[in-house]
Amino acid sequence: MRQILKKIIYSAFLAIMLLLPFFSRSDYDLFVTNKALLNIILASGLVFLTGFAGQISLGQAGFSAIGAYTSALLTTRLGVPIPIAIICSVFLSVIAGLFVAIPSFRLKAFFLSLVTISFGQIIYLLLVNLTDFTGGSRGLFNIPFMKLGKSPFTNTLYYYLFLIITALVVLLMNRIKYSYIGRQMFAINDDEVAAEACAINSKRAKFFAFGLSAGLAGLSGALYAHLFGFLTPDPFSFFESSNFVAMAVVGGLRHLSGGVVGGFLLTWLPELLRLNISGFENYYLIINCVIVLLVIVFLPYGLGAALFKALSRLWGEKQSALTLRNLKNKSNNIERE
Amino acid sequence: MIMAIILETKALTKRFGGIVANNGINLSIEEGKTTGLIGPNGSGKTTFINQVSGIFPPTSGEIIFQGENISNKPACKIAAMGIARTFQRIQLFNHLNVIENVLVSRRKFMSSSVFDVALRTSRLKREEAAQFDKAMEILAIFGLDKDAWKLPSSLPYGKRRALEIARALALEPSLLMLDEPAAGMTKEEFMEILKIMDILKERKITMLLVEHTMEFIRKAVDWVYVLNFGEVIAEGPFEQIEKNKAVISANLGDEE
């Protein structure tokens, strides 16, 4: 009975995702949803980096900027086809991520966050000041949209493309979490010295975590460039980086759904407050921040974690280990915590 | 009969600023034997273990393990080569449950790569399942298999200590270094740890045991080194060391 309920709820969720463009009230709504999907990709990478591997980054917008500007410059200046430009920009972001990983070998918590803030600021200032290259604060224009045949992508087509990419990213994160890699990350997060004593190469693990999260940020940025058609430095400021952290925290740092729930919520919430509730136009950011604060205070493990806890209670499953999943059905009947 | 030396240190020295924590330590550990390392607080016992396990690089001197100089190798390489350890204050992975804690050590026995993970290949599934069974086996040695799905924080102190030893043993080490395994234990827990020592000895595990409790050392070790102010002041079988004047005056304490 409960298994049927589970199937119904999951199918309903899938159906809503697939049919969303037909429900949305306007093209703008769909556009915001597309932006939400891009934020989900980025926030999922941050959940992996900060929640799993325990490395704080307040400079994710920097990686995102590298992805966005690389793809934009390659397509506008050199006429590189969009898919190849996106692959190149992901590659470049990963390289940047590997460089930022190096200070993390020695620095922790506050000090590491300072390094990542500086990285984000350096990238931001380069965007503003390298005017020949990036167009400075006026920005880059005429970035090509993706095309289907001859006609450019509509928001609906972008939605389906981003939905597929997001689904693949979530699937990948899921597989990584439920494997030895996830276990290594949690081990390093809990106790790096003990992890090394268990023959875990913490440097390699940190390279992997920074590389992966930077790659996802770069992917998100590159797709953003081709969704908007123009780029300015504004969406890559420190404010955005901290907003990404807020997404990961509100969604649930240690939960796979964290990036999804947080990314979706914190993209839509300000829009809802700004456009749909009259009288809040000037105060929506304050309300937004208060809601974020309330979630952090009352649901410290995040909305995503709370949601899945409630759901698994609904279908009578007990939560099992962090990184083992139904291995030979051994973990099903034993309660965690 | 030829005694194989598994680990040897030559003039191993560690300075922290002006403090000399280890001063020219020459120590060798025989294969299959339990070697004790005793000495008063601050005499440099844990520093010694930290150097051998690669947490601190030595200031000077050499550490030879199975004929290879490991002095400047990173901790993870040394662990992979076969030197496992536990910590003075138990250091478990508190967000992972008991079986996962042991599984962390089993990574070195897997050949799957990140591509196997991304594609969820049959190789990955096979290896994960095999290591799971192996980890369960290791837990069973210490009677921890029934607690496999619990979090370490829900276990009593003695079991947490046993889990830490199980996790070290999961590396299938050639040398196991235990840093004060009986510290802060009740009488019952102390009896449990003695049982664990018997299990380890039955398995012919070569051990380096750092300890305060004389009763424990007497029962467990074959050969003892005594440290004081970072230097070896005596070595020999325990009965002999017990009567050594220099050792007594170094105030080993803890004699009950």
Residues in chain B with CB shorter than 8 Å from the CB of A326 are none
Q: Exposed, middle or buried, A102 (CB in 10 Å: 0-12/13-18/19+)?
A: middle
Q: How many CA atoms lie within 13 A of B34 on its CB side?
A: 22
Place of tokens 């709820």: A9
- pLDDT score at A170: 95
* Chain A residue with the nearest C-alpha to that of B165: A198
Of B91, B95, B124, the CB nearest to A186: B95
Task: Please determine, for residue A329, whether its predicted confidence score (pLDDT) is greater than 50.
Answer: no
Q: What is the CA radius of gyration of chain B?
A: 19
A335 touches chain B (CB under 8 A): yes
- pLDDT score at A336: 41
pLDDT mean over B138-163: 93
Q: Delimit the domains of chain B by residue range.
A: 1-82+175-190+203-256, 90-172
Task: Please judge whether B95 and A324 are an interchain contact, meaning their C-beta atoms are less than 8 angstroms apart.
Answer: no
Q: At B178, is the pLDDT very low, low, confident or very high (cuts 50, 70, 90)? A: very high
Q: At A151, is the pLDDT very low, low, confident or very high (cuts 50, 70, 90)? A: confident
Strand partners, B178: B209
Of the residues A198, A206, A324, the best mutation for testing chain B's interface (the one with the most B CB atoms within 10 Å of its CB) is A198
Give the helix/strand (H/E) hosting B14: strand B5-16
- pLDDT score at A327: 56
Third-level CATH fold of B90-172: Rossmann fold (3.40.50)
B105 touches chain A (CB under 8 A): yes
* Chain B residue with the nearest C-alpha to that of A188: B93
Which value does ipTM take for this structure? 0.92
Min CA distance, B82 vs chain A (Å)?
9
Q: Exposed, middle or buried, B136 (CB in 10 Å: 0-12/13-18/19+)?
A: middle
Q: What is the DSSP letter of A164?
A: H
A25 touches chain B (CB under 8 A): no
Task: Please determine, for residue A326, whether its predicted confidence score (pLDDT) is greater than 70.
Answer: no
B156 touches chain A (CB under 8 A): no
Residues in chain A with CB shorter than 8 Å from the CB of B171 are 198-199
Q: How many CA atoms lie within 13 A of B97 on its CB side?
A: 23
Kindly report the pTM of this predicted structure: 0.92
* Per-residue tokens: A237: 């400021």
Beta-carbon contacts of A194 under 8 Å, excluding residues fewer than 6 positions away, are A187, B87, B91, B92, B93
Task: Please judge whether B107 and A200 are an interchain contact, meaning their C-beta atoms are less than 8 angstroms apart.
Answer: yes
* Per-residue tokens: A250: 């509100």
CATH dotted code for B1-82+175-190+203-256: 3.40.50.300
Q: Delimit the domains of chain A by residue range.
A: 29-237
